[in-house]
Amino acid sequence: AQKVTQAQTEISVVEKEDVTLDCVYETRDTTYYLFWYKQPPSGELVFLIRRNSFDEQNEISGRYSWNFQKSTSSFNFTITASQVVDSAVYFCALKKAGRRALTFGSGTRLQVQP
Amino acid sequence: DGGITQSPKYLFRKEGQNVTLSCEQNLNHDAMYWYRQDPGQGLRLIYYSQIVNDFQKGDIAEGYSVSREKKESFPLTVTSAQKNPTAFYLCASSIGTPDGITDTQYFGPGTRLTVL
């Protein structure tokens, strides 16, 4: 069985603070992909990143960075210098070989106050 | 612009009625998906289709039906057999790679269904 846990239900920060969203996953497979999606109030899920299980390099994209650690089965997402437009629900998801569906975590609601 | 459209944005249904949610994509993607989202939860897969005229049940297919007559379209019917249909429904599509794992799914704006 596979599972994604986002233990932080809701996080509130003030603009310009850094914030890290945690994602812990469980899978017995050696080949899998991890994803982060952003869901703004409009409802649409916006794809942010995809990372395969063989690539543990951290990735940075502007103010966003991701830390993938297989040893702790974690794929954490950090927003540097948060902005009000970052307010959204963020989902971590897992996909394994042979399964078309994504397994989603329950999401973390991030509120960035001005 | 390429993308995924869903209509309507809001839908109200009386108990006992069937209702169909529309999903259209012009990304030339082979694979399409329907997910359901309940408050405070992640998304769960209802149905998916890898090619035209083919579709497979997901984790929560009971009470739902789909068709895939055209590559661009993947409508979802919520039948009266679905006991708790009030939810947010998201359609997604992906290129549809043979291994199924290197795909990235892109989502539409969603339809919020409320049963009165």
What does the pLDDT read at residue B96?
81
CA distance A98 to chain B (A): 6
Contact residues on chain B for A91, CB-CB shorter than 8 A:
42-43
CA pair distance B59, B92, nearest whole angstrom: 16
Residues forming beta bridges with residue A37, ordered by sequence position: A47, A91
Per DSSP, the three-state class of A71 is helix
Examine the pLDDT at B81 and tell me if it is beyond 70. Answer: yes
Examine the pLDDT at A113 and tell me if it is beyond 90. Answer: yes
Answer yes or no: are the C-beta atoms of A4 and A102 closer than 8 Å: no
Most A CBs within 10 A among B50, B51, B105, hence the mutation to make, goes to B105
Contact residues on chain A for B2, CB-CB shorter than 8 A:
none
Contact residues on chain B for A50, CB-CB shorter than 8 A:
104
Examine the pLDDT at B100 and tell me if it is beyond 80. Answer: no
The pLDDT of B71-100, averaged and rounded, is 90
Tens digits of per-residue pLDDT, A30-45? 889 999 999 999 899 9
Tens digits of per-residue pLDDT, A74-103? 999 999 999 999 999 999 999 987 777 889
Q: Which residue of A has its CA nearest to B45?
A: A101
Using 50, 70 and 90 to split pLDDT, how confident is the model at A5?
Answer: very high
Examine the pLDDT at A52 and tell me if it is beyond 80. Answer: yes
Examine the pLDDT at B103 and tell me if it is beyond 90. Answer: no
Answer yes or no: are the C-beta atoms of B92 and B5 closer than 8 Å: no
Most B CBs within 10 A among A5, A44, A108, hence the mutation to make, goes to A44
Tens digits of per-residue pLDDT, B55-75? 999 999 999 999 999 999 999
CA atoms within 13 A on the CB side of A10: 4
Q: Which residue of A has its CA nearest to B5?
A: A44
Strands B111-115 and B10-13: parallel
Q: Residue B78: CB partners within 8 Å, gap ≥ 6?
A: B13, B18, B19, B20, B21, B63, B64, B85, B113
